[in-house]
A and B are shown apart, each in its own frame.
Chain A
Amino acid sequence: MANEGHATTKPDENPILWVTRPMATAARQFTKSLWRPSTIVYPYERLEDPGFRSKVGVASGVPIGVGPIWDNYRGVHALNIATCISCNLCAFSCPDLCIEMVTVPGGDPKHPKKCPEIDYGKCSYCGFCSDACPEGCLTMTTRYELSTPKRSEMVYSPEKLQQVFQHKLPMNPIRIELPKNEDSILLDPPLCIGCNACARDCPTQCITMLDIPKPDPRPGEKTPRRIWKEPVVNDSDCVRCGTCISVCPKECLFWGAPK
């Protein structure tokens, strides 16, 4: 095969150089690696160990400094049950549907307290749940060693996630940046029947039912409305979980830009 138009053609050199030069480069790297190894003896040394961090600077021979590169790692979740408000946002935002809200003791019988139970057999560690958590009670830690002989042990109950929280592992300090103006819950007034379902199920109690004036009955209306109340959402308390939208029987609540 002809080698036409190559930028670098073979120079007129001693052919021995063509073998010894690569070998010299490799030998240089080898001698460097004798006192600056690029590898970690994993089960005995860990990147996240405080003692090893001081050596990170010289691993691979690169003086990149001791950065907090390990703190941002997305590993097993930690849950603080005390501050969880059962808003369901973590379960809503999970792309793998690995989060199930299970009842934990602590709620009143009418509104049981529900906290996330995570199936690590499905979890992809994308961090959407901890990004979505409005209270910061579900965070990701740097723990990554999860192997177990039983599949059932991959399902972490809220109590088990609480134990991770109590270990006080370094929490992932990355907090998602939120847009300044978020959409609000809006109401389509003619559809509302004033059933109170949204105000009853709101996890932050930010919906109040206000009285509205009773208008004249519309012509052709078969079932006249009996409760003359409408929900009003307090935007500053709202965590945008959408529970009210999902429980509304008449589909009269929706997302939109506030007027």
Chain B
Amino acid sequence: MSEMWINMGPQHPMTHGLWNLRVRIDGEMIRDVDPEIGYLHRGIEKISEDRHYNEVITLMDRCCYVAGFAWEHLYILAAEQALHVTPPERAEYLRTMSDELQRIASHLMWYAAFVQDLGLMSPFLYGMRDRDLVLDLLQDYTGARMTYEYMRVGGVRSDLPAGFTDRARKVLDWLSDRFHEYDQLCLGSAIFRKRCDGLGVLRANDAVAHGVTGPMLRSAGLKRDLRKDRPYAAYDRLEFDVALADGADVTARYLVRMEELRQSVRIVRQVLDWLDRHPGPSVADRLPRWLGAPYAPIGNEGYLLKRSYPKGIGFSSVEEPHGEAQAYVVNDGGEHPYRVKFRSPVFANISAARQYLVGYHVADIPPIMGSVDVCVGEVDR
């Protein structure tokens, strides 16, 4: 009876969101862990089968509440493939910019939550303050701070408002000055380094075996980034580097995310320059009837549209702030998708918890799980 199971969650300061980490401990040592999820399941995949193609976007924003744009983009890429629609080039750049601004906001959110897990309150406030500026930018051209509903099948909802690019550049200048302050507060702090160095080691071969992707995989030294390996949207026309570290521990994940923040700022700057130089339409010339389909006679739902639109299957994968997300959309010719399926990166990342938690102390769980960047909204969907 020297060992016992304890529940960390679903209401626990360590869990950012509703999930439960069951831990078998022997005194201070972790012997086994068992992540339990499902507290936030909303059935988004099933609800999507009852929504028009554009209405699914409202669900995507709620899928991952800190990286809504990444999931909108993921779904839109698959839906466009299924509906045989090609977006104009300007829409691709606008989506890329949205993705990268969202990555900055998401990583800053992660930074704020992560340092708070370590007990550092001041960096938390700075992270949240700077994230708010990015949200201001997103609100500027979408009209909302978290649930954007900006991308559409075949383009985006509207073009940028006047003067947006200048405001965005000012925010980016401010942000790129802040990154070294974050490093001073964290990497330069003995408290931070003593709590993070060498913790939660997940080597590259274990990470690949568990399907772990994103910053966790790159922190193990494996150069895998879908933006480079399988470019979507405008990423093949932009210059950036893949953030890498080789420590495979909590500090390495911190370094990877900080480098990704800098690279995202670099990408957004290039996109803003491109957008200034190339005005044009931001929605495709010809689209299926997509603003909302008419009522169909009861019992014949979808019949009217099946007559004139082709069938198709769409698959897409994007580099979300947390890792590789994938979507699969089946269009059987009706007004709703026949099937929508998503692959969440965080699901795989926390499934491997046994690999990087066993053998450490109980007090190491908050920094290690904080470095995973758990977003329960997309795990449970």
For B129, the chain A residues whose CB sits under 8 A away are: 38, 60
For A68, the chain B residues whose CB sits under 8 A away are: 140, 161
Q: Is A4 an interface residue (CB 8 A)?
A: yes
For A125, the chain B residues whose CB sits under 8 A away are: 144, 147
Interface bits A158-184 vs B (CB < 8 Å: 1, else 0): 000000000000001111111111110
Q: Is A246 an interface residue (CB 8 A)?
A: yes
Q: Is A41 an interface residue (CB 8 A)?
A: no
Interface bits B296-309 vs A (CB < 8 Å: 1, else 0): 11001001110110
Query: A62 and B185 in contact (CB under 8 A), knowing A5-B247, A179-B285?
Result: no
Contact with A179, one of B171, B187, B287, B295 (Cβ below 8 angstroms): B287
Q: Is B13 an interface residue (CB 8 A)?
A: no
Measured between alpha carbons, how far is A255 from B170 in the docked complex, in Å?
A: 46
For B286, the chain A residues whose CB sits under 8 A away are: 179-181, 257
Contact with B193, one of A10, A67, A93, A179 (Cβ below 8 angstroms): A10
Q: Closest approach, in angstroms, between the C-beta of B268 and any C-beta of chain A?
A: 14
Query: A179 and B197 in contact (CB under 8 A), knowing A62-B174, A174-B157, A243-B294?
Result: no
Contact with A176, one of B57, B157, B294 (Cβ below 8 angstroms): B157
Contact present for B133 and A92 (CB under 8 Å): no
Q: Closest approach, in angstroms, between the C-beta of B365 and any C-beta of chain A?
A: 15
Q: Is B327 an interface residue (CB 8 A)?
A: no
For A21, the chain B residues whose CB sits under 8 A away are: 184, 188-189
Q: Closest approach, in angstroms, between the C-beta of B235 and any C-beta of chain A?
A: 23
Measured between alpha carbons, how far is A39 from B159 in the docked complex, in Å?
A: 30
For B292, the chain A residues whose CB sits under 8 A away are: 89, 92-94, 128, 132
Q: Is A64 an interface residue (CB 8 A)?
A: yes
Measured between alpha carbons, how far is A74 from B174 in the docked complex, in Å?
A: 27
For A60, the chain B residues whose CB sits under 8 A away are: 129-130, 132-133
Measured between alpha carbons, how far is A15 from B189 in the docked complex, in Å?
A: 10
Contact present for A254 and B133 (CB under 8 Å): no
Nearest CB to that of B300 among chain A residues? A251
Contact present for A242 and B294 (CB under 8 Å): yes
B interface size (C-beta, 8 A): 82
Measured between alpha carbons, how far is A69 from B144 in the docked complex, in Å?
A: 10
Contact present for B303 and A251 (CB under 8 Å): yes
Nearest CB to that of B360 among chain A residues? A1
Contact present for A172 and B143 (CB under 8 Å): yes
Q: Is A240 an interface residue (CB 8 A)?
A: yes
For B157, the chain A residues whose CB sits under 8 A away are: 127, 131, 174, 176-177
Contact present for A3 and B249 (CB under 8 Å): yes
| Contacts of A175-208 to chain B: CB distance below 8 A | 175-183, 186
For A251, the chain B residues whose CB sits under 8 A away are: 297, 300, 303-304
Q: Closest approach, in angstroms, between the C-beta of B189 and any C-beta of chain A?
A: 4
For B132, the chain A residues whose CB sits under 8 A away are: 38, 60
Q: Is B291 an interface residue (CB 8 A)?
A: yes
Nearest CB to that of B168 among chain A residues? A64
Contact present for B140 and A65 (CB under 8 Å): no
Q: Is B199 an interface residue (CB 8 A)?
A: yes
Contact present for A65 and B166 (CB under 8 Å): yes
Contact present for B147 and A25 (CB under 8 Å): no
A131-B291, A245-B304 given; 11 more Cβ-contact pairs under 8 Å: A1-B197, A7-B255, A65-B166, A92-B292, A93-B291, A140-B143, A177-B155, A242-B293, A245-B295, A246-B294, A251-B297
21 of the cross-chain contacts (CB-CB < 8 Å) are A1-B201, A1-B360, A5-B247, A21-B188, A22-B189, A68-B161, A89-B292, A93-B292, A94-B292, A125-B144, A126-B57, A126-B149, A174-B141, A177-B156, A177-B281, A180-B285, A183-B308, A242-B294, A245-B304, A251-B303, A253-B304
Residues of chain A at the chain B interface (Cβ within 8 Å): 1-8, 10, 15, 17-19, 21-22, 25-26, 29, 38, 60-65, 67-69, 72-74, 89, 92-95, 124-128, 131-132, 140, 172-183, 186, 240-243, 245-246, 251, 253-257
Per CB-CB distance, the 9 closest pairs between chain A and chain B, nearest first, are: A242-B294, A93-B292, A1-B198, A18-B190, A256-B308, A95-B55, A246-B295, A92-B292, A3-B198
